[in-house]
Structure 1
Amino acid sequence: MKKQEILDAFMFRHACKEFDATKKIPKDDFSFILETGRLSPSSFGLEPWHFLVIQNQDLRETLVKAAWGGQKQFPTASHLVFVLTRKSHFMKYDSDYIDGFMVNVQGLPPEIVEMRKGFYEAFQAKDFKLLESERAMTDWAARQTYIPLANMMTSAAMIGVDSCPMEGFDRETMDALLASELGMDRDKFTLGYAVAFGYRKEAPMEKTRQEMEAVTTWYE
């Protein structure tokens, strides 16, 4: 039963292009969805994200001007979430943010912090070569933020809530708007994506996916 319920949720989920603006997600349900985002895993457990829940309609009208991919979703969604990515200099192995996170959030003793920073430095410098450019590090951090996106959309689908992930925006313009309208610190963050939640206005098209054999190779 549990397996089928999960598969049913994946079949239910689709990129909802327009929501029924008259229907609002109950507070407890949205708190549950957001909690599944907060509890999501990330590389080295460093959580390079911040969630902005945009409920003010006037603010949505301002932001949608820079979001060609959210013209129907921004105004009609019950809840609209912008997920910020922490920028490269905060994610570098020797940053004050990493030190503080390991001590204050993860509760690690000094010797373990130093050991883990050594592993983290090797990973960034050699394994993934993230120190070669700011773009490489920021893109790597952004990839971590897509884990809570998937978890939030799945948990929403499991309780009958629709969603739509969106990258259809001019990032430079949107970052400037978030800085001017909400005081986002552009030295710390850039917008990763937006995701809208609510209830579908119309039935979606039939889901299409490749067959398992087309996307899977087994070696035994």
Structure 2
Amino acid sequence: MSTQQDILSAFQFRHACKQFDAEKKIPAEDFDFILETGRLSPCSFGFEPWHFVVIQTPELRAKLREVTWGAQGTLPSSSHFMVILCRKDDMRFDSAYIDNFMRTVQKLPADVVEKKRAKYQKFQESDFRLLESPRALFDWSCKQAYIALGNMMSAAAMIGIDSCPIEGYDFRDAEAVLTAAGVLDQDKYGLAVMVAFGYRVNPQPAKTRQTMAEVVTWVK
């Protein structure tokens, strides 16, 4: 098991790397490990709203670069570039996806399926009011994706691999590029976030954070 200092060292190592060594590629087994930490990440009700798409073709990367101002350095230089998609209406309590997921993935008995669906319905309708608009439901799905995103970046840092999360893009244009490439079915999915992985070429800048006292309040 990693020690506390090992983990903190990885968090100190991690930064938003804007330029990677284009000649240095992440070994397949290391990237499979990163993907596995994303797959095993927690999500609300365990319903896995995400889909990870790793884009390695230079042609599609070049098209994405035209609409992604936040990845001008990372798209051409990163070893691996990922877009995380999230489900839209499939995440409704009454969708076929959720029903099938509970029965075939979570392998719940029929009576438990109905109890969980009722709880999920209340959560969506009244607790979080996620059904007030399609965007509210999609944004909630994206919150889950950011858990997987953080876990993958942290896992990468723990084995000496750099990363950069990316939100700097025109949402509609980026989705149009992915749709035209056959990567995105906009009826079912939307683009949540992008992330690049690789190895740095420039020294890491000094990490700046508020103090613990400024970000933590204890209620005793």
Matches within 5 A, 1:154-165: 154-165=154-165
* Amino acid aligned to 1:210: Q
Indicate yes or no: 2:149 matched with 1:149: yes
Q: In 2, Cα distance between the equivalents of 1:106 and 1:57?
A: 38
1:199 corresponds to which residue? Answer: 199
2:170 corresponds to which residue? Answer: 170
**CA drift at 1:59:** 1.3
1:20 corresponds to which residue? Answer: 21
Q: Which runs of 5+ in 1 are unaligned?
A: none
**CA drift at 1:63:** 1.2
Deviations 1:36-71 (A, max 9, x none): 000001000001000000011111011111101100
Report the aligned-residue RMSD: 0.8
* Amino acid aligned to 2:114: E
Identity fraction in percent: 54
Deviations 1:2-54 (A, max 9, x none): 10000000000000000010100011001000100000010000010000000
Indicate yes or no: 2:86 matched with 1:85: yes
Q: In 2, Cα distance between the equivalents of 1:4 and 1:182?
A: 44
Q: In 2, Cα distance between the equivalents of 1:140 and 1:62?
A: 28
Q: Which runs of 5+ in 2 are unaligned?
A: none
1:58 corresponds to which residue? Answer: 59
**CA drift at 1:182:** 2.2
Q: Calculate the TM-score normalised by the size of structure 1.
A: 0.98
Matches within 5 A, 1:88-127: 89-127=89-127
2:11 corresponds to which residue? Answer: 10
Q: Calculate the TM-score normalised by the size of structure 2.
A: 0.98
Query: SS at 1:80's partner residue?
Result: strand
